[in-house]
Structures are given as C-alpha cells and as structure tokens.
C-alpha cells in the first residue's frame, strides 16, 4: 500500500513537470507583457532592458527552469501587473474560490447522489421523469448562460440576491470567509448554483444509470429473496456498489469545479483565483499564470490520488489484489 502511494506520488510529480513545460511553451503566444508594462513614452532601450531584466529573452525551457528552481523554495516570483509576490496574491484570492467550490461541490454531491438514487428507485414515476427532463438543461446549457439567466431572474427581476461580488467578508487573519455574514451567504447562492449545476446533473445521471445497472444484479435479487427491507436493499446493498464507478467521475468533477470556477467567477465578478487568472491573461502576467496553472495541476493530481485510494476503501476485492500482487 505504501509502495503504491509512493509510486503514485512519483508519477504525479512527473505529470506536474510536463504540465508546467507545456504551459511555459505556450505563454509566448498569449502576448508580450512588455507592451502592457511600459507606457506610451517607452524607448527601444527600455524595452530591451526590461526584457533582459525579466529573463524573457531566454528560451522558454530556461524560463521554466528558473521558475521551477525558485518555485520549489516557495517563491513564485512577482506579479508584473501588481508588483507584489504571486504567493501573497493567490493566498488572498484562494479563500473566495475554495469557499465557492466547496459549496458547489457539496451541493452537486448531495443533491446529485440523492436525486440519482431517487430516480433510479422510482424509475417510472412521474417525479423521476420530470427530474430527468429538467436535468437535461443542466448538462446542455453552458455555465455562463445559466449564470446570466440566474442573475436576470433573481437579481434584476426579483431583486432578491446580489449579482456580483462576495458581499461582506470576515477576515480571520489567514482566511477571509463569506460564511459568517448574511450578505456573504446571499452572495454565495447564485454563483455556487451556477458552478455546481453541471456537475450535479452529471453526477445524478451517472448515479441513476449505475444504480439501475446494480439493481439488476443477482445479489440484489438475492437480498430481496432474503426478505431484507427495501431500504436496506437500496442503500446498503445497491448504493455501495454504485459508488465504485461514481467515485472516479465525481473526483474528477470536483477538480473541474475548481478549474472551471474561472467562468463563474468572471460572470459574477467573484474575487477568486479564477478571476485573477483571467485578468492575468489579459495583462500577460506570466508569474501569476504559471503559479495558477501549477496550483490547479496539483489539485487535480491530488484528487486523482485520493480517488484511487478511495477505491481500496470501498472495494475489498482491490485490497486483496494489491496485497497479493505487490
């Protein structure tokens, strides 16, 4: 087991290095940061000086190496635009994104699994059919459109919820939270629904189809033949077997929630790292872009690792294979 974790971590590091390399090879196509950094009154000498100062005259592999060698020491460089350390900027912005992603993820998981199980058990009921039809909206409408529709309905027409921002936040020193104020909580509602809706419907449809498959299995029939209560058959026997494939997709989707927060944060002007990234692209703020991409990769790779370990926890057959095979 430990050997397996170590091997997976080693693989993960390799993945991260490749992601970084690809990212750096593409930054040159985004634009030239020098244009934005120097004003109208620039001379060619200024441009050349700044280019050398920032190391932008060197090939991207060398730039990448420099980024890595300082990044492993916890130093992600200084933002071209704000002139402040990138780690400080991200630390300021991260709580907003993480709180939004956590609320969306919990919404997507609980409602997704709950409705999935419900529509599987009441397969032919009218409520299931309505839920399934409505869920098509969730999987087919793009996130930004849902966000704009929600803003139009709840902010413009009904004037119930704020259309942008985080509301009032409480500063805990190392973390700013919107959970403790009424305006903060209100501000969370629309963005978290927007962000989580796609994942919620995806998880729901997946749970439903997996559960229907499991309910056809012999051991479910046998559980019924043993006179177990319907609740025990559905939740103890069926749901647990449903979870194995669901965990994979769900894990990746939770990573996607953080990554795709970019769109939701843009629509709602949510002051998180996604919005920071969009602004960084407009300014070609390479240190911020690089740090953000690495952060997202670490998160994806970490979630993948956790998903793989969850399999062992859920499915005893894998535990036995590992013990025998490694």
Partner 1 sequence: MSEPVLSVRDLVVEIPTRTGVLKPVDRVSYDITEGEILGVVGESGAGKSMTGNAVIGLLDRPARISGGEILLKGRRIDNLNRDQMRRIRGKEIGMVFQDPLTSLNPLLRIGDQLTETMLAHLDISADEARDRSIAALDEVGIPAAASRIDSYPHEFSGGMRQRVVIALALCAEPALVIADEPTTALDVSVQAQIIALLKRLCRDRGTAVMLVTHDMGVIAEAADRVAVMYAGRLAELGAVREVVQRPRHPYTEGLMGSTPLASRGQRRLRQIPGSMPRLGKLPAGCAFHPRCPKAQEACRVDPGPDLSADQGRAACWFPVEQVEVAE
Residue 49 binds partner 1, judged by CB under 8 A: no
Stretch that binds partner 1, among 170-178, 225-233, 272-280, 284-292 (CB under 8 A): 225-233
Residue 237 binds partner 1, judged by CB under 8 A: yes
In terms of C-beta density within 10 A (0-12 exposed, 13-18 middle, 19 or more buried), how is residue 133 classed?
exposed
Query: In this structure, what are the phi and psi dihedrals at residue 136, rounded to the nearest 5 degrees?
Result: -60, -35
Query: In this structure, what are the phi and psi dihedrals at residue 262, rounded to the nearest 5 degrees?
Result: -50, -50
Nearest to 67 by CA among 33, 21, 14, 12: 21
**Displacement of CA 266 from its chain's centroid (Å):** 15
Residue 130 CA to residue 135 CA, distance in Å, equals: 8
Interface with partner 1 (CB under 8 A), residue from 56, 228, 256, 298: 228
Could you say which residues in the range 261-320 bind partner 1, by CB under 8 A? 314-317, 320
Interface with partner 1 (CB under 8 A), residue from 240, 269, 278, 282: 240
Report yes or no: 5 and 309 within 8 Å, Cβ to Cβ.
yes
Interface with partner 1 (CB under 8 A), residue from 223, 261, 263, 296: 223
Minimum CB separation of residue 203 from partner 1 in Å reads 20
Smaller CB distance to partner 1: residue 1 or 320?
320
Residue 230 binds partner 1, judged by CB under 8 A: yes
Interface with partner 1 (CB under 8 A), residue from 236, 269, 302, 306: 236
Query: x-or-dash pattern for partner 1, window 108-147, by CB under 8 A?
Result: ----------------------------------------
Interface with partner 1 (CB under 8 A), residue from 222, 282, 302, 309: 222
Smaller CB distance to partner 1: residue 152 or 235?
235
Q: Coil, strand or helix: which one is 176?
A: strand
> Cβ neighbours of residue 66 under 8 Å, at least 6 residues apart?
55
Interface with partner 1 (CB under 8 A), residue from 144, 152, 219, 235: 219
What is the CA angle 126-132-138, rounded to 5? 145
Residue 324 binds partner 1, judged by CB under 8 A: no
Residue 323 binds partner 1, judged by CB under 8 A: no
Residue 40 CA to residue 194 CA, distance in Å, equals: 41
Smaller CB distance to partner 1: residue 182 or 218?
218
Label residue 176 left, alpha or beta by phi (over 0 means left) and psi (-120 to 50 means alpha): beta
Report yes or no: 191 and 270 within 8 Å, Cβ to Cβ.
yes
Minimum CB separation of residue 108 from partner 1 in Å reads 24
Q: Please give the full DSSP string across 216-251, using - where no structure is assigned.
A: TSHHHHHHHHTT--HHIIIIIIIIHHHHHHHHHHHH
Stretch that binds partner 1, among 3-11, 165-173, 214-222, 255-263 (CB under 8 A): 214-222
Footprint on this chain of partner 1 (rule: CB under 8 A): 217-219, 221-230, 232, 236-237, 240-241, 314-317, 320
């Amino acid at each position: 087991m430990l050997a397996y974790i170590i091997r997976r971590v080693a693989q993960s590091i390799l993945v991260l290095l490749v992601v970084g390399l690809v990212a750096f090879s593409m930054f040159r196509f985004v634009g030239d940061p020098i244009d934005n950094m120097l004003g109208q009154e620039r001379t060619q000498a200024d441009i050349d000086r700044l280019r050398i100062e920032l190391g932008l005259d060197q090939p991207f592999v060398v730039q990448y190496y420099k980024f890595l060698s300082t990044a492993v020491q916890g130093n992600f460089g200084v933002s071209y635009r704000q002139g402040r350390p990138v780690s400080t900027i991200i630390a300021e912005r991260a709580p907003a994104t993480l709180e939004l992603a956590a609320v969306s993820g919990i919404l997507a998981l609980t409602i997704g699994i709950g409705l999935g199980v419900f529509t599987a058990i009441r397969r032919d009921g009218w409520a299931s059919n309505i839920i399934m039809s409505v869920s098509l909206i969730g999987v087919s409408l793009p996130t930004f459109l849902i966000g704009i529709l929600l803003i139009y309905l709840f902010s413009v027409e009904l004037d119930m919820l704020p259309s942008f921002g985080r509301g009032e936040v409480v500063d805990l020193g190392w973390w700013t939270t919107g959970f403790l104020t009424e305006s903060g909580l209100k501000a969370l509602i629309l963005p978290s629904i927007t962000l989580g809706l796609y994942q919620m419907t995806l998880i729901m449809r997946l749970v439903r189809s997996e559960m229907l498959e499991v309910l056809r299995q012999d051991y479910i029939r046998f559980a019924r033949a043993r006179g177990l209560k319907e609740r025990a058959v559905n939740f103890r026997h069926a749901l647990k077997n449903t979870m194995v494939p669901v965990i994979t997709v769900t894990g990746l989707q939770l990573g996607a929630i953080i990554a795709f927060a970019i769109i939701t944060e843009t629509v709602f002007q949510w002051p998180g790292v996604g919005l920071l990234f969009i602004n960084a692209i407009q300014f070609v703020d390479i240190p911020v872009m690089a740090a953000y991409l690495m952060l997202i990769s670490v998160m994806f790779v970490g979630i993948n690792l956790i998903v793989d370990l969850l399999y062992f926890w859920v499915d005893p057959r894998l535990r036995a294979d590992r013990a025998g095979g490694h």
